[in-house]
Amino acid sequence: MVPMPQHNLQITAVAPDPALLDLPWDVPLIDWPDEVLAALPQGISRHIVRFVNHGGRVIAIKEIGETVAYREYELLRQLHRIEVPSVVPVGVITGRRAPDGERLEAVLVTEHLSFSLPYRALFSQDLRPDTATRLIDALAVLLVRLHLVGFYWGDVSLSNTLFRRDAETFAAYLVDAETGDMHRRLTDGQRNYDVDLARTNIIGELMDLAAGELLDEEVDEVAIGDALVERYNELWNALTGSEAFGADERWRVAARIERLNDLGFDVGELEITTDIDGTTVRIQPKVVDAGHHSRRLLRLTGLDVQENQARRLLNDLDSYRAATDRQNDSEQIVAHAWVRQVFRPTIDAVPREMRRKLEPAQLFHEILDHRWFISQQAQRDIPLPEAARSYVENVLRHRPDEDAVLGLTPGEAEPGPAELGTAEPGPAELGTAPEP
């Protein structure tokens, strides 16, 4: 197909890609031909969204009003700069016109999030009954992270969120920032409105899944919505609440920091005050940054992974250090040895054509889970190379890529959403892992 001339087209982007001009911008997005589309499953959206294979990557294109497009683009750029989990903005394209001169909507272009899972695609599979709970936990963490940096979402829902596997849990990413707003600090009213709206939307979305017989009959939709509120408040209080103790209990400062580290957060700044006679000390975190374990793993090994994947890899690194009797060696030297002798050989044992099925860190995590499972069955300790071979033959070979287009034609993909990936049950759902 030869693209029509785009005389009035304007591209706003940090690094404009001239190849974008080759796309059929003179055609309404809903009518784009199959040959330019990537066949990814789509969820529900108020706007027309299409995925396009472009320059070796997949981009998501959303038709939206010009003013809203520019505003959402800037908000996504801000979130990306401060490393809040969200889709990466590519640019805004305006000045679109059909061959007959009719004006067409502006579009917002974002990068497709590799290995991502829309919630409807997740529930189209035969997953474990607690999948909804795990998604809610991930969404609660995302909402807390957004509120900590002063971002008011305004339309919290499963539909506006993407999920990536993160060890036995999920990590949530913001997709739609159209109704969002950035503030220096959120009021309690703004936070509570976001949380209440999230509860309402999630209950409705789960009821919709139940009506479509995609939700386990034992799932209580209202209880799941209430669980989001409870999980959010628990995490918010742990990260921001003040704590008072006697002046002779100063060890509790270190204990508070360690507790926040266990939750996956680093404390950048603490406020410590004492009463007039110095008998009581009060501490309150002032700056809290997510990603404690992933930053530590990156510093030690250069591996950039999700938070719970990092936690699992660090645990295996600790086991390797103990098994090789290297507790007195430099942690960084041992970490590099673990990467060379354990992590890389395990990933390399997976045939090259199968490595795109999952991220390397998720592959390693699932191989460790599979090793545990088959060791229990065999009543002996299975070596990691043997476990990797078993995992490839009995689990991985039978699942499709999560970083690839599904075996659908573009016309078979549902019309729709914000941003998506593919979904398939992992080893936990397939019965090859212990219950987390």
- Antiparallel, parallel or unpaired: β 10-12 and 265-274: unpaired
Contact 23, 54 (CB under 8 A): yes
CA distance 122 to 276: 56
- Half-sphere exposure for 295 (CA within 13 Å, toward CB): 10
CA distance 282 to 275: 8
- Half-sphere exposure for 427 (CA within 13 Å, toward CB): 31
Cα Rg of the chain, angstroms: 24
CA distance 15 to 65: 22
Beta-carbon count within 10 A of 174 CB? 26
* Angle between helices 131-148 and 188-211 in degrees, nearest 10: 160
Counting DSSP H helices and E strands in the chain, the numbers are 13, 13
Task: Report the pLDDT value the prediction gives residue 44, as an integer from 0 to 100.
Answer: 59
Q: DSSP per residue over 184-223, as a string?
A: SS--HHHHHHHHHHHHHHHHHHHHHHHHTT-S-TT--HHH
Residue 20, both tokens: 């974008």
List Cα–Cα distances, 233 to 162, 264, 417, in angstroms: 22, 16, 29
- Half-sphere exposure for 429 (CA within 13 Å, toward CB): 20
Task: Report the pLDDT value the prediction gives residue 422, as an integer from 0 to 100.
Answer: 31
Give the three-class secondary structure for 255. helix
Task: Look at the alpha carbons of 61, 65, 68, 73 in this order and tell me if their dihedral is positive or negative.
Answer: positive
How would you write the pLDDT of the chain (436 residues) with one tens digit per residue?
Answer: 444 445 578 889 877 778 888 899 999 999 998 888 876 655 556 788 888 887 778 889 999 999 999 999 999 999 999 889 999 999 999 999 998 889 999 999 999 888 887 888 777 655 566 778 888 999 999 999 999 999 999 999 998 999 988 888 889 999 999 999 999 999 999 999 999 999 999 999 999 888 888 887 888 899 999 999 999 999 999 888 888 888 778 788 888 888 888 888 877 777 888 877 767 877 777 777 778 888 899 889 988 888 889 989 999 999 999 889 998 888 889 999 999 999 999 999 999 888 878 889 999 999 999 999 999 999 899 999 999 999 999 999 887 665 443 333 333 333 333 333 333 333 333 333 333 3
Residue 57, both tokens: 């990557």
CA distance 62 to 144: 27
Task: Report the pLDDT value the prediction gives residue 423, as an integer from 0 to 100.
Answer: 33
Q: DSSP per residue over 220-244, as a string?
A: -HHHHHHHHHHHHHHHHHHHH--EE
Q: What is the pLDDT of residues 275-296, one digit of tens each?
A: 777 678 777 777 777 788 888 9
Task: Report the pLDDT value the prediction gives residue 293, as an integer from 0 to 100.
Answer: 87
Beta-carbon count within 10 A of 55 CB? 11
Task: Report the pLDDT value the prediction gives residue 187, as an integer from 0 to 100.
Answer: 95
Task: Report the pLDDT value the prediction gives residue 218, as an integer from 0 to 100.
Answer: 80
* Contacts (Cβ under 8 Å, ≥6 apart) of 235: 140, 141, 144, 263
